[in-house]
Amino acid sequence: MDNSPIQDTESAAPMSVTELQSQLNDLLKQLSPERLRVLADFAAYLANAESETATQELLEIPGLLERVKQNQATPKNQYRSWRTLSKPLN
């Protein structure tokens, strides 16, 4: 059994997402239920951290939160279908 870690991305040729997923699936089959739980917890942590990073990036856009709040307060009857955007307002 090969216990080597997943290749270091700095020293090896870049792997595609499909290749990484395949490698991970092969490794998952070798893990005990306890190790799978640990891995699932770690994957959840990484997904949460990525989500938090994306949220922080959005919050750093000047005025974005205010525009979202303003758009949420816009009455639905003031919305226009995207199909009619090229047509002049009545």
Q: What is the pLDDT of residue 6?
A: 56
**Whole-structure pTM over 0.85, yes or no?**
no
Q: What tens digit of pLDDT does each residue of 33-72 get?
A: 999 999 999 999 999 999 999 999 998 999 998 988 888 8
Nearest-angstrom CA–CA distance, 30 and 39: 12
Q: What is the pLDDT of residue 9?
A: 46
Q: What tens digit of pLDDT does each residue of 69-89 get?
A: 888 888 888 787 888 887 666
| CA 48 to mean position of chain CA atoms | 9
Residue 37, classed as helix, strand or coil, is helix
Q: What is the pLDDT of residue 11?
A: 52
